[in-house]
Amino acid sequence: MTLTLPIQDTPINSNIIVQDNFMPDDYCDYLIHEMTGEGTYFPWHWGQILSKDATCSDFRNWQFGHVFWLFGRENSAYCHLIQPIIDQINPEVLYSVKTNLTPWDQTQVVHGFHTDVTNFSGLTSVYYTDTNNGATVFRTTNEDGTDSVTEIESKRNRLVTFDNRIYHSGKTQNDAKFRIVLNINYFKHSIFYYNQSNQSNANS
């Protein structure tokens, strides 16, 4: 499946949209139970977080993950778990959906700045299933060439949406047994171009 979008040269938008209480509250309970509950046997897979540009040690550059959707098609028998949130986002094109679980660590770590998608422009949303002192850290470039760093904390039932070309990193937690997020990469015309319009107006 070839995904071609005529927006490759659109300027990167630095706006970050934070939506709390994105889903019905019992959806978080359902999702956490189905992925971590005793007797559910959800298939988590151990893997490296970043193959390059990691800023943490190799001993901390790992997590458990599960890929629901990849290259624009289903990749898992468990896609029904994420269908309610996909329906709520209502993307025009869905590229990939992956869930990550990072276990407790005594020291909080920022793994390294990266982008999830490199070959086409669009949106990334991060959905947090639980509240903890982990975070998503964003690095954006100002008009004068300097960098700004913004942290969005992990909060139960929060959705954070941004231009998928913005560099970001996960930050681990040391106040909870685990941190689970959904990483959703997609295109939705109304959000992408609404953000572009807002940024243009802010800069004018």
Q: Going from the N-terminus, what domains does the chain have, and what CATH number goes with each?
A: 16-203 (2.60.120.620)
Query: Residues 168, 137: contact at Cβ < 8 Å?
Result: yes
Q: Render each residue's pLDDT in the chain as its tens digit; 204 residues.
A: 333 444 556 788 888 999 999 999 899 999 999 999 988 899 999 887 656 666 656 666 657 999 999 988 999 999 999 999 999 999 999 999 999 999 998 889 877 887 887 777 899 999 999 999 999 999 988 888 888 899 999 999 999 999 999 988 989 999 999 999 999 999 988 776 665 555 544 343
Cα–Cα distances in angstroms (integers) from residue 90 to residues 21, 36, 100, 149, 151, in the given order:
17, 26, 22, 29, 26
Q: What is the pLDDT of residue 153?
A: 96
Q: What is the pLDDT of residue 48?
A: 74
Cβ contacts of 109 within 8 Å, gap of 6 or more: 56, 60, 171, 172
Query: Residues 140, 4: contact at Cβ < 8 Å?
Result: no
Cβ contacts of 142 within 8 Å, gap of 6 or more: 148
Q: What is the pLDDT of residue 204?
A: 33
Instruction: Determine phi and psi for 41, rounding to 5 degrees.
Output: 60, 40
